[in-house]
Amino acid sequence: MKDQEQGKMIRADAIEQAANRIMSNAAIDIPEDYLSGIRAMIDTEKGDLSAFVLEAMLENWQAASEDRRPMCADSGLPRYYVKSGNEARLEGGFVELEHRLRRATAQATHDIPLRPNRVHPITRQDNNNNVGMNAPEIEYSFEPDADWIDITTVHKGGLFGSDYRMLFPGDGIDGIKRFFLDVLLAFGKRGLACQPAIVGVGLGGSKDTCMMLGKQAACLRTVGSNHPQAEVAKLEGELQELGNRTGLGAMGFKGTSTVVGCNIEVGYTHTGGMPMSVHCFCLSSRRATARLHGDGSVEYRTDPQWFTPYMRRNSVGWDGGAGAVAGAAE
């Protein structure tokens, strides 16, 4: 019995190996959904400079994959999202998991190589391995009736393109649209946001939840995905269309290529408020996921599948997903 249980345990070495591989996949290979989105944008882009930029990016992604070198030198702030099945058992538990993810970060930084971006905010001291106090971030979520763990790494760079604002219910959809435009105009000029971006919007929650949801919407959902709730999905479409009407194209040159996808995530919020955050996942939208099973098998993919029906549940209990999101559009 004990042997059988241990056979189902996810080994720490396997975690470290998978983490090293997704670090490299993320840094080098552009996800297919993002690539398809950009190809479609080139076809409709009338601005020659903006289209030239996008064509150069296609060439760049090809060079990155051929040479096995990072697509961008600002390899961002590598971080992890771990989704653990409720039945998953890890060798050494989560403390060992975190140790292995930190080790993989340092190793991958040297081997790929990534830029060691992480420094102390005041002394600017650099450990030269992208590891430090509170770095890399590791966020967790859980999944019922599963014995696997998903490890996703996201390398998001960019000092430009994110913002937060407390709106109020009376500000309505107008307020949301205005703030969305404010952020794109503030950071889209000269292409500082490295657009076309997957623009993630967090609506609701408390301030920290709002930032977290918006960032996860940008980094953990694919181009072309829709929120299951009809009202939210409709707004995603409207914001994408609005964002591509600003006149800004790639690098801020005149054009129509700013928002390759708009993903909104919502959280129930204070009755008096409507907090909103906006995040731009850039021309190097780097994410990669590994699923590790207890039997030792590992699968790799580029869609993190982070927002499951369980995560978006609206009920007290969990009924297996039948009423996951009220008013869900199917």
- Name residues contacting another protein, limited to 108-167 (CB under 8 A): 109-117, 119, 124, 126, 128, 159-160, 165-167
Among 23, 82, 101, 194, binds another protein (CB under 8 A): 194
Binding of residue 107 to another protein (CB under 8 A): no
CB of 108 to another protein, least distance (A): 10
CB of 241 to another protein, least distance (A): 12
CB of 126 to another protein, least distance (A): 4
Whichever of 149 and 280 has its CB closer to another protein, that residue is 280
Binding of residue 299 to another protein (CB under 8 A): no
Whichever of 73 and 329 has its CB closer to another protein, that residue is 73
CB of 81 to another protein, least distance (A): 22
User: Is there a contact between 153 and 22 (Cβ–Cβ < 8 Å)?
Assistant: yes
CB of 147 to another protein, least distance (A): 37
- In whole angstroms, what is the distance from residue 328 CA to residue 330 CA? 6
Binding of residue 185 to another protein (CB under 8 A): yes
CB of 55 to another protein, least distance (A): 3
Among 98, 171, 238, 303, binds another protein (CB under 8 A): 171
Among 191, 202, 214, 261, binds another protein (CB under 8 A): 191
- In whole angstroms, what is the distance from residue 170 CA to residue 186 CA? 24
Site for another protein in 42-81 (CB under 8 A): 42, 48-49, 51-61, 63-64, 67, 69-75
Site for another protein in 248-267 (CB under 8 A): 248, 250-254
Binding of residue 21 to another protein (CB under 8 A): no
SS (H, E, C) the chain: CHHHHHHCCECHHHHHHHHHHHHHHHHHCCCHHHHHHHHHHHHHCCCHHHHHHHHHHHHHHHHHHHHCCCCCCCCCEEEEEEEEECCCCECCHHHHHHHHHHHHHHHHHHHCCCCCCCECCCCCCECCCCCECCECCEEEEEECCCCCEEEEEEEECCCCCCEEEEECHHHHHHHHHHHHHHHHHHHHHHHCCCCCEEEEEEEECCHHHHHHHHHHHHHHCCCCCCCCEHHHHHHHHHHHHHHCCCCECHHHCECCCCEEEEEEEEECCCCCCEEEEEEEECCCCEEEEEEECCCCCEEEECCCCCCCCCCCCCCCCCCCCCCCCCCECC
Whichever of 149 and 250 has its CB closer to another protein, that residue is 250
Site for another protein in 267-296 (CB under 8 A): 282-284
Judged by CB under 8 A, the number of residues near another protein is: 71
Site for another protein in 199-238 (CB under 8 A): none
Whichever of 48 and 87 has its CB closer to another protein, that residue is 48
Counting beta carbons within 10 angstroms of the beta carbon of residue 89, is it exposed (0 to 12), middle (13 to 18) or buried (19 or more)? middle
Whichever of 75 and 84 has its CB closer to another protein, that residue is 75
Binding of residue 177 to another protein (CB under 8 A): yes
